Amino acid sequence: MDYILIMSAAMISFTVTALLGKSVIPFLHRINFGQTIRESGPKWHKKKNGTPTMGGFMFIIGIVLSCAVCAAIYYGVKGSSPLNALMRTKIVGGLIMAIGFGFIGFLDDYIKVVKKRNLGLTAGQKLVLQFLAAGAYLCSIYLAGGRSVTLIPFAGKADFGIWYWIVALLGIVGVANAVNFTDGIDGLNASVTFFVSLVFIVIAGMMNVTPAGILAAAAAGGCLGFIVWNFYPAKVFMGDTGSLFLGGLVCALGFSLDIPILILLIGIIYIVEILSVVIQVAYFKATHGKRLFKMSPIHHHFEMCGWSEVKICFVFSLVTVLAGLGAILLVSYGL
């Protein structure tokens, strides 16, 4: 039954997301919610100007609906309270946190569209809202009985006290923004996150945590359904609405399985993307105007080197799969 639920979660999310494209994309066209391509981006991206954005609503709806349906079935089969308060908080609270991040992204996208420029909320405004969303999630975990103990590869369990919560807060916001930076070429974020979700499905199965498996399967199905419309040449972009939602969701999966540290490995592409931005800015300032990469985030560097968007999606997805296999091996050997 558990495997059927997990497969159902993926199918429902995929179907809803893919079908929503038939109505959401024309609607976004009608209300002129098109992306304004930034001036500093690759010149050939100008042809994408006006492509509908905020398409992340498609998979947000698909994922939430899928989780709701499968949760109702799971509770009906397992009984009225199959999860303890802590696990329920980590998963349900995690989904709510992801929706909160998606709402922050929506505000950012909306401002961009209304002002017809590629600027939305200020960096400070976004960070304050993101810290509030992440802080609320971590507070809910603490109040539900969560401890400051985490698993460290090859070292076992370690209690970091208050530092665990501080690092977790910074980590969630950092990862959410890293996923956001991964969005920039057709199909990249959705394809990478699809494989990240598959890895979490496998790990959830190994740990026998079906609710986390359902959430991961819904995420995988939603990403795949979105790729139908977002693969090159994209007919719609997810916008910050979608990318920040996915960032929150990836964090929720890591915490629901008590392996947040493995997000660094499973989501290696996200980490490389955000590090490329940090390194580029630091190098630019240190050398008074020189650049280490042709452009950041790093997927644009490879674009400027002549890689096609499809090739970048394939290579980055392959790296995600290999890193995910490493994470699965770590879990299989008890970290």
Q: Which two tokens stand for residue 25?
A: 């994309």
Distances (CA, A) of 303 to 147, 178, 184, 283, 308: 44, 19, 11, 20, 6
Sign of CA dihedral 205, 207, 213, 217: negative
Residues of the chain with pLDDT under 50: none
Q: Is position 101 within any domain?
A: yes
Is there a domain that residue 332 lies in?
no
Predicted confidence at residue 228, as pLDDT, reads: 96
Whether residue 334 lies inside any domain: the answer is no
Q: Does residue 136 form part of some domain?
A: yes
Per-residue model confidence (pLDDT) at position 13: 98
Residue 155, pLDDT score: 73
- Is residue 324 in some structural domain? no
pLDDT in tens, 277-320: 999 999 999 998 889 988 989 999 999 999 999 999 999 999 99
Assess if residue 59 is contained within a domain. Answer: yes
> pTM (2 decimals)?
0.93
CB 266, CB 327: distance < 8 Å: yes
Q: What range does the domain containing 241 cover?
A: 2-261
Residue 152 has a pLDDT of: 79
What letter does residue 232 receive in the DSSP assignment?
S
Is 252 inside any structural domain?
Answer: yes
Asked whether 91 and 211 are in contact (CB, 8 A), the reply is yes
| Sign, Cα dihedral of 316, 224, 177, 115 | positive
| Phi, psi dihedral angles at 157 (to 5 degrees) | -80, 140
Chain segment 213-267, per-residue pLDDT in tens: 999 999 999 999 999 999 999 999 999 999 999 999 999 999 999 999 999 999 9
Number of domains in the chain: 1
330 domain-assigned:
no
